[in-house]
C-alpha cells in the first residue's frame, strides 16, 4: 500500500462515537459520463449521510471528479466507485491498470492537466493507492468532522 497526503500537523479529529459503517458501490465499467455519474452518486450518498451541508462536501465531489477523470485519462477507465462512511468518508476508484498514480513534477499554472493529484492532496486528509490482481484502487479520505464542520484541510 502507498499512502500520501499530509496527516502531520492536522489536529486530531473531535472525539465522537464511531459512525456506523456504510458502503456504496457504483459500477462504471464501460459507462458513458462516468464523472457526472460518480458526482451524482456521491452527492446522493452525502445527502443520505447528512454530510452535504458544508464546503467540504463540495471538496468531496471535486475529489471524485479528479479520481474518476484520472482513471479515464491514465488507466483505461474507472471500473467502480466505492464510498465508505465511518468516521471518515473514504472514496475509492477501481481501475484496471497496475501503474500507480504519479504526480506531474512540474504542472504549469493556467494550463489544463497535471493538477489532479495536487488537488487531491490539498483537499483530502489522506490518499494513496493499493494494487490488486486486476489493477489498483486509488483512495482518498476526508474526515467526517470536516464534512460536518466545514473545516478546511490542514486547518
pLDDT tens sequence across 10-36:
444 444 555 689 999 999 999 999 999
* pTM summary value: 0.82
Q: Between 78 and 18, whose confidence is greater?
A: 78
Q: What is the pLDDT of residue 60?
A: 97
Q: What is the pLDDT of residue 115?
A: 63
C-alpha distance from residue 50 to each of 47, 55, 99, 126 (Å)? 5, 13, 35, 22
CB < 8 Å & 24+ apart, contacts of 73-78: 74/99, 74/101, 75/99, 75/135, 75/136, 77/28, 77/29, 77/30, 77/34, 78/28, 78/29, 78/34, 78/38
Q: Between 140 and 8, whose confidence is greater?
A: 140
Amino acid at each position: 500500500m502507498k499512502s500520501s497526503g499530509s496527516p502531520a500537523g492536522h489536529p486530531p479529529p473531535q472525539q465522537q462515537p464511531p459512525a456506523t459503517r456504510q458502503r456504496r458501490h457504483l459500477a462504471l465499467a464501460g459507462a458513458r459520463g462516468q464523472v457526472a455519474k460518480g458526482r451524482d452518486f456521491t452527492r446522493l450518498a452525502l445527502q443520505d449521510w447528512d454530510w452535504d451541508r458544508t464546503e467540504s462536501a463540495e471538496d468531496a465531489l471535486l475529489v471524485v471528479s479528479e479520481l474518476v477523470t484520472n482513471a479515464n485519462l491514465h488507466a483505461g477507465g474507472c471500473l467502480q466507485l466505492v464510498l465508505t462512511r465511518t468516521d471518515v468518508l473514504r472514496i475509492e476508484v477501481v481501475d484496471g491498470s497496475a501503474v500507480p498514480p504519479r504526480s506531474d513534477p512540474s504542472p504549469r499554472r493556467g494550463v489544463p492537466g497535471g493538477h489532479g493529484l495536487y488537488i487531491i492532496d490539498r483537499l483530502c486528509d489522506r490518499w494513496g493507492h493499493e494494487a490488486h490482481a486486476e489493477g489498483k484502487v486509488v483512495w482518498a479520505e476526508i474526515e467526517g468532522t470536516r464534512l460536518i464542520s466545514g473545516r478546511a484541510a490542514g486547518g
